[in-house]
Amino acid sequence: MNPSTAPTPPLSALHQALDACQTYAPTYDGLYSNHLPMALHAAWQLGADAQRLQAQLAHDTPELQPLPELSAAQPLDDWREGLGQAQAYAALRASLQQKIAQEGPDAVLRQCLVPLLGSAHSTAFHGLIRTAHAWESAHLGELASALAAWACDWAPLPQGQTPQQSMPLQAWWAAVCAELGEFQAEQNMIQTRMEAATQAPLYQGLAEAAQAQGSLAQLCQALQGRSLTLYVQTGNFTVLHLLTATRALRVLLPWVEASAALDAHLQAVWLRSALAALMASGVARARPLPEAPSPLPDWPVLRAAALAQYDEHTLKLVHCGWQEDARQSDPRWRQAAALRLWGEARCAPPPLDDLDHIHVQVRDRAQAERWYAQALGLTADAQLLHWAPNGGPLTLRNASGQIKLALFEHAAPTPGATVALRVSPTAYAQWRARLQATPGLAVEEEDHGLSQSLYFQDPDGNAYEITCYGRTA
């Protein structure tokens, strides 16, 4: 179905939901982007009615950070004074609201886009992506909020080394993909991994090596096609961000007024951003393009499946694919949407890092603790003692911490154990999607504060846990 022929609920329903978003900070817990406004617009275009939009609000707002001081914020003399100032969001928003009221949204977008695109990667491309959703939503308050969120995290990536010889884009992309997996970052967040990537020799050697295209628009189109292929090959969460960012840039390009020299500069910025994102993805190697499922689900099925859950990244990717497929038909967009929604049996599973712990049921936990200490030299893990009260596990470990048992007290212990496998936060999100897409598999998820876990059983009733420490992106 073409997006132009799909029924869209009244714009007033979207604006009412976006009105409720304007009092929240652009990030929460100091790290995570506020995806709610983007998810609302994507869901609305996918067909969400007022009730569904309010349900998204109810789902997302408990974790967001309110900003009661927004109404009292004073505008800056020049909004550019707030570039890169994380604490200036309220003042930036007030400044941009004032400018939009005085000069109109078109004029303000034209003024802001070129300087902001100098830091296209900010907050893992979310400033750019949120601005595109805001513009399409025609909500002036959200446009000011999106631009302010982008501006306060403005921090251009560094240039790389001057190459001896530049490469055509196709050769540059092939050179980058050939080295994927050589750079591995320990950081959990995409943004911090991208920043770490800029210090690596691969970035220094290739950041300036690609030849400019005829225009930024042509580069955007070329990178979108390559990013789409890589996402279908890998289902990688960081590549998903790069892919949706190319759509956002495409939406905003009509308001980018740049000379030939400035266009070339913005192309260089985009190539650095793409390189840092690819390195931060952790993709070891891109496998051959998988055969598309036959038949591929149609867009009405994909849209309905996206609206049946609340995952913001799923909503945005399905929305992106639906819109871009309508512009230039390509079955890979439906393949990408289906992969995000349900996984794909032929996809290589996300990596498992280690065996984290094993659940053991005991009748008397204090007695068991003494036995394990005497017999096996396992002692209580001091960092996890807070889990032990109220029926929680008492975690024992060996001296190196490589072996852990979680003791659960039961009046009638059942022989057998739950095996817990540790993964990274990025892989955790991929495992969640994969397990939930497995036919007949019941998956339960629990947030333990320090960690998050998925629980399931194999066909013979053996219990397993996928766990990660830290928050998923």
Mapping DSSP onto H, E and C, the string for the chain reads: CCHHHCCCCCHHHHHHHHHCCCCECCEECCCEECCHHHHHHHHHHHCCCHHHHHHHHHHHHHHCCECHHHHHCCCCCCHHHHCCCHHHHHHHHHHHHHHHHHHCHHHHHHHHHHHHHCCCCCCCCHHHHHHHHHHHHCCHHHHHHHHHHHHHCCCCCCCCCCCCCCECHHHHHHHHHHCCCCCCCCCCCHHHHHHHHCCCHHHHHHCCCECCCCCHHHHHHHHHHHHHHHHHHHCCHHHHHHHHHHHHHHHHHHHCCCCHHHHHHHHHHHHHHHHHHHHHCCCCCCCCCCCCCCCCCCHHHHHHHHHCCCCHHHHHHHHHHHHHHHHCCCHHHHHHHHHHHHCCCCCCCCCCCEEEEEEEEECCHHHHHHHHHHHHCCEECHHHHHHCCCCCCEEEECCCCCCEEEEEECCCCCCCCCEEEECCHHHHHHHHHHHHCCCCCCCEEEECCCEEEEEEECCCCCEEEEEEECCCC
* Per-residue confidence (pLDDT) for residue 7, from 0 to 100: 64
Percent of the chain at pLDDT > 70 equals: 93
- Threshold 0.85, pTM exceeds: no
Higher-confidence residue of 23 and 69: namely 23
**pLDDT tens readout for residues 305-321:** 899 889 999 999 999 99
Q: Which domains does the chain show, CATH number per domain?
A: 3-152 (no CATH), 178-342 (no CATH), 354-469 (3.10.180.10)
* Confidence tier at 400 by pLDDT (50, 70, 90): confident
User: Averaged over 376-402, what is the pLDDT?
Assistant: 88
Higher-confidence residue of 415 and 469: namely 469
When the pLDDT of each residue in the chain is averaged and rounded to a whole number, the result is 89
Would you say residue 149 has pLDDT above 60?
yes
* Per-residue confidence (pLDDT) for residue 410, from 0 to 100: 85
Winning range, highest mean pLDDT, from 99-113, 176-190, 411-425: 99-113
User: Averaged over 438-449, what is the pLDDT?
Assistant: 85
Would you say residue 459 has pLDDT above 70?
no
Pick from 72-76, 168-172, 322-326: least confident? 72-76
Would you say residue 444 has pLDDT above 90?
yes
